[in-house]
Amino acid sequence: MEKMKKTIKSLLLFIIGSSLLFEMTPSYAQELESEAKSQEEIDRELEKELAKIQEAYEEESLEEFVPSEPLSADVAVSFPSDI
């Protein structure tokens, strides 16, 4: 009798679990598909941003900064040699 109750409970749990699994699978597949699409969109946006950065980097010309007045870091400080 006790063994039969355990078997019935196990069978009932198996049926409930299987029905939940089959019910969730289509919605989970749709969710994965929408995530894949959004990942493709993210990749496209990243490519665009990288192209903008590369273009800005190529256009930029660097000029040497020459201060009109000495900066505080240019002041010579003498330290004793035993430091």
Q: Cα(9)–Cα(3) distance, rounded to whole angstroms?
A: 10
Q: What is the pLDDT of residues 20-55, one digit of tens each?
A: 666 656 666 667 677 777 888 888 999 999 999 888
Which residue would you say has higher pLDDT here, 23 or 15? Answer: 15
pLDDT band at 67 (very low <50, low <70, confident <90, very high): confident
Question: pTM (2 decimals)?
Answer: 0.33
Q: At residue 83, does pLDDT exceed 80?
A: no
Domain coordinates of the chain in residue numbers? 2-58
